[in-house]
Amino acid sequence: MKDALTNPFVVSGYESPDYFCDREAETERMVTELMNGNNLTLISPRRMGKTGLIHHAFRRLKLDDQSVLTIYVDLLPTNCLADLAKSFSIAVMEQMDASPMTILKKAARLFSRLRPALSFDPVSGAPKFSVDIAHGEEQMTIEQIFSYLKNSGRQCFVAFDEFQQVAYYPETNVEAFLRSHIQFLGNVHFVFSGSQSHMLSEMFHSPKRPFYSSASSLSIGPIDRGKYYVFASDFFKKAGRDLPEEVFNSVYDRYDGHTWYVQKVLNKLYGYRTKEIDGSNVLIAIREILSDNEYYYQSILRAYSKGQGKLLKAIAKEDRVKEILSGGFLAKYGLNAASSVRGSLKRLLDDEQIYRDAEGYIVYDRFMSEWLKGLN
Q: Which residue number is nearest to Mg ion in terms of Cβ? A: 51
Q: How far is the CB of 354 from ligand ATP (least distance, A)?
A: 16
The answer to whether 301 and 309 have CB atoms below 8 angstroms apart is yes
Q: How far is the CB of 7 from ligand ATP (least distance, A)?
A: 11
Q: How far is the CB of 97 from ligand ATP (least distance, A)?
A: 26
118 binds, among Mg ion, ligand ATP, none (CB under 5 to 8 A by kind): none
Nearer to Mg ion, 220 or 324 (CB): 220
Question: If binding is defined by CB under 5 A, does position 51 make contact with Mg ion?
Answer: yes
The answer to whether 336 and 279 have CB atoms below 8 angstroms apart is no
**Residue 250 vs residues 227, 272, 278: alpha-carbon distances, Å:** 15, 18, 10
Question: If binding is defined by CB under 5 A, does position 141 make contact with Mg ion?
Answer: no
Nearer to Mg ion, 137 or 365 (CB): 365
Q: Which residues bind ligand ATP (CB under 6 A)?
A: 10-13, 20-23, 44, 46-52, 195, 223, 259-260, 263
Burial class (CB in 10 A: 0-12, 13-18, 19+), 360: middle
Nearer to ligand ATP, 15 or 245 (CB): 15
Nearer to ligand ATP, 51 or 144 (CB): 51
Q: How far is the CB of 51 from Mg ion (least distance, A)?
A: 3
Q: Which residue number is nearest to ligand ATP in terms of Cβ? A: 49
The answer to whether 72 and 159 have CB atoms below 8 angstroms apart is yes
Nearer to Mg ion, 51 or 87 (CB): 51
Q: How far is the CB of 53 from ligand ATP (least distance, A)?
A: 6
Torsion angles phi and psi, residue 124, rounded to 5: -85, -20
**Residue 73 vs residues 110, 161, 185, 354, 372: alpha-carbon distances, Å:** 19, 6, 17, 27, 35
195 binds, among Mg ion, ligand ATP, none (CB under 5 to 8 A by kind): ligand ATP
36 binds, among ligand ATP, Mg ion, none (CB under 5 to 8 A by kind): none
Sign of CA dihedral 320, 322, 323, 325: positive
DSSP E strands, 162-264: 188-194, 216-219
Distance CA 147, CA 287 (A): 52
Distance CA 154, CA 326 (A): 57
218 binds, among Mg ion, ligand ATP, none (CB under 5 to 8 A by kind): none
Nearer to Mg ion, 50 or 189 (CB): 50
